[in-house]
Amino acid sequence: MEDMEENTSRSRSAGLNNRESIAHAGWAERLAPALLVLAGLAAWELAARAGWISTLFFPAPSSIAGTLAAWIVSGELAVNLGATLYRFGAGLAAGGAAGFAFGLVLGLSGRLRRILDPLVSGLYSLPKLALFPLFLIFFGLGDSSRIVLIALAAFFPMLINTMGGVQQINPDYLEIARSYGTSRGLLLRRVVFPGSLPSVLSGLRLAVGTSLMITVAVELINARTGLGAVIWMAWQTLRTEVLYVALLATATLGITSHVLLEFLSRRLIPWQMERGKELPTKAILEI
């Protein structure tokens, strides 16, 4: 037994070394894209100043940075980013929570699932944006029609992934839990919930993506504030610098939510994340 443990600890440390070497390789590799971006920006700046490219399409990075600074100082960026963040956050929270709750119920109840599944599939395949005019009639021109649509966009991926996650739990685990006389509450809390969590988190990832997209889309169509509205206004007035600033802010929003999701996954499903780390697909493919 001791032998075996020694073996395992040795293989553990070997795994660590391996991981470290991958991290080292990643350090140089991570610097490369930054350098590439910097070089690209420098070339762009040069080309714009020399008049090789039209500044209407590609205003010099320095002038975009100037506009960004002005927008930060005037508070316009904060107001519009805030409006977008509010709609996105409220819609995602409401739709995501509802999708999770309904997903759990439908995952657990075969009968409800059989009754509601055709309805869910039908509504899921409907492009949500097409409903926006109807929602404008229902909920008026204010934020509520936008938030309802964003919530709907978050609702379905959460519902479907949560439901699937509950259904896909290996029935062996349910039997094992039952063999120990587990109560229904404990079964939900200790088996069904954590067992479906990886799928719930991929649902959340999808929900974040689609609801951010719908947020920007409804702002493009109908809103006076928000990053989408700024982008549309910038196009109508041909203020390309502003357009780039708003795009930059939108991209930052997307990247930030992705990073937050990664962090959340690491905290909530460490057993899955660890497994992922032990199999660095990139390294395997490069061999």
Binding site for other proteins (CB under 8 A): 1-2, 4-5, 7-8, 12, 172-173, 175-183, 186, 190-191, 194-195, 197, 269-271, 274-275
Query: Which of 55, 214, 237 lies closest to 127 in space, CA to CA?
Result: 214
Nearer to other proteins, 8 or 62 (CB): 8
**Tokens matching residue 44:** 């762009």
Looking at the Cβ atoms of 165 and 226, the one nearer to other proteins is: 165
Minimum separation from the CB atom of position 165 to other proteins (A)? 12
Considering the complex, state which of residue 195 and residue 280 has its C-beta at the smaller distance from other proteins. Answer: 195
Of residues 221 and 269, the one with the C-beta less far from other proteins: 269
Asked if residue 165 lies in contact with residue 107, where contact means CB atoms within 8 angstroms, the answer is yes
Pick between residue 177 and residue 283 the one whose CB is nearest to other proteins.
Answer: 177
How far, in Å, CA of 141 to CA of 10, rounded? 65
Contact 162, 103 (CB under 8 A): yes
State the nearest-atom distance from the C-beta of 106 to other proteins, in Å.
22
CB of 109 to other proteins, least distance (A): 21
Q: Which of 7/74 has CB closer to other proteins? A: 7
CB of 189 to other proteins, least distance (A): 10
The Cα–Cα gap between 63 and 58 comes to: 10
Residue 245 CB, nearest approach to other proteins (Å):
44
| Tokens 């963040």 -> residue | 85
Q: How far is CA 238 from CA 58, 224, 242, 248, 249, in A?
A: 12, 17, 9, 17, 18
Query: What 3-state class would DSSP assign to 52?
Result: coil
- Whether residue 207 contacts residue 154, with contact meaning beta carbons closer than 8 Å, is answered with yes
Q: Minimum CB separation from other proteins for residue 98, in Å?
A: 25
**Amino acid letter, 72:** I
